[in-house]
Structure 1
């Protein structure tokens, strides 16, 4: 492979801002795997956010890139899995699997799509030094005739339309809106774009903790739960961003609530001495990581900030707000959650599913 921009390339990043800024190019924020695709004839490489290749996990996209992308190009975008009910990040995570046979099976059962939003190189030309406005125009010309599963993301300079996208597209599983300065060059691994994401709060039950990697006397994360209609405490995710001093304070504060797994709502390991996470609790990003936890009596309630839920799970790690001694654990149900109105992905990108 010989291209003017060679792998690996760290993608250009965005910093979070509270409101959509004026005077930019606006795009939906896709919820998938950020990827930079390199094509030189039949040679294809799919780079990831951490600059490691993901080519082997998406054989159906490799074939599509050979058919649809310009013969020599470097394209920045997002790998997603689109369904009738929106984006499916859980299905996307399952694609990162060591067994080639399973990857092949999943590529046929849950095929992925690629949504392009920047052009880094075309032919022999390095475009990273050009303003984004020029790169966007070249992207539309170069990939405008691509067929599914390769798409070009919608973009607009109309801030009112961007605000409407922000409100409406969440119902299809999108993350928010990205604002890109029209004069900006492509700067790998630099936060020079802006992202505007939804932020909500929820009151959750704390029913366990995991210790921090620094030692057994510091909290790594708190396990959160909400009660469903049947009165079952469902594990929804974790909070874990604390200063080190606070991690040690939390450990001491929580010791009076430490209990056994007998009768605990999350006795996922049954009667065994070593309790392992339930199905869905494992980490596909840290294979072999110990995800066992210390059970707590489910009595503490905490208000957390979160972006959105995917089914019964927090899509991203929640942020600690404050304790809620005025709330009973049983009052922490899924009914409190703000659920976006459903929105069809085909109304965002025609032919996406």
Structure 2
């Protein structure tokens, strides 16, 4: 492979802001695996956000990218898997598996798609110093004949349309809106773009915590919600605290510690088979590797209000943010019923040519 921009390349990133800024290019925020694709003739390398290759996990994409991208190019985009008209991140994570036979089986059963939204090189030309507006024009020309499962990401300079996307596209599993200055060069690993994500709040039960990797202070709170049968399901964690507050929380939660966890709703967490019928903390994961997933059980008596962006099935997709304790709420009242469901929106409408580009 001999390209003007060689792998590995870490993608340019975005920082969170509260509102959609004016005067920029706007795109949907995809909820998948960020990927930078290098193609030089028959050679295709798919790089992850960290720069490590993803190529072996998506063999079906290697073939179509070789067929449907320009002969020599470097393209930034997102690998996604759709199911039932929505993005499905859980099915995407199943691909990170050591067994090649399973990867290939999943590639046939739930094939992935690639959504392209930036162009880093074309032919012999590196485009890292080229303004975004020009890179977008070149990308549209390069992918003018693209067809599924390779897609050109919708983009617009109309903030009203961006606000409409923000409200409607969530129903297809998308994650918000990204705003990019039109004169922005491409700067790997730098947070020069802006992301606007949905934020909602929920009252959840604190049923345990994990220690911080640095020592005997709190690392994360383990959160739960009651399902329709009254069973407390693990829905995620809350982890962003100043170090002093981490120390205080260990002491604050001490009266709730359970020496005998047999009566805890997640007592069977260490048994792999228990995870088949319930959401418990410490589920076996290809991501966690040898990471210590042990936790301290607490009597599930305290309620906390957290902010979250969206759900992935029956759990928080990302780490929730602490807002306040809710002594006025009973743990039994913390159910899935309180969660807001976005209006459904078909992903095919997002990716259709008419769903995309605005001036």
Q: TM-score range by the shorter chain?
A: over 0.9
Q: Is 1:284 the counterpart of 2:286 in the alignment?
A: yes
Deviation at 1:335, TM superposition (A): 1.2
Equivalent residues of 1:282, 1:291 under 8 A apart: no
Query: What is the RMSD computed on CA atoms of the aligned residues?
Result: 1.8
Quick one: distance in 2 between partners of 1:202 and 1:152? 35
Alignment of 1:219-258 (within 5 A): 219-258=218-257
Aligned counterparts of 2:87 and 2:148: Cα–Cα separation in 1: 16
1:89-109, Cα deviation, whole Å (9 max, x unpaired): 011111111111111111111
Q: TM-score, normalised by structure 1?
A: 0.95
Q: 2:76, 2:118 within 8 Å by CA — same for their partners in 1?
A: yes
Counterpart check, 1:146 vs 2:149:
no
The equivalent of 1:185 in structure 2 is: 185
Cα displacement (A) at 1:285: 2.3
Within-5 A mapping of 1:1-353: 1-215=1-215, 217-259=216-258, 260-269=260-269, 278=280, 281-350=283-352
Structure 1: unaligned runs, 5 residues or longer: none
Alpha-carbon separation, structure 1, partners of 2:323 and 2:107 = 40
Aligned equivalents of 1:280 and 1:99: distance in 2? 22
Q: CA deviation at 1:279?
A: 8.5
Give me the whole-angstrom Cα distance separating, in 1, the residues matched to 2:59 and 2:282.
25
What 5-or-longer segments of structure 2 have no aligned partner? Answer: none
Find the aligned partners of 2:222 and 2:166 in 1 and give their Cα distance. 30
Whether the 8 Å contact between 1:219 and 1:251 is mirrored in structure 2 is yes
Quote the Cα distance in structure 2 between the aligned partners of 1:271 and 1:92. Answer: 25
Q: Identify if the C-alpha distance between structure 1 residues 102 and 190 changes in structure 2 by more than 3 Å, giving closer, same or farther.
A: same
> How far is the alpha carbon of 1:228 from its aligned partner?
1.2
Aligned residues: 348
Tell me how far 1:291 sits from its aligned partner: 1.1
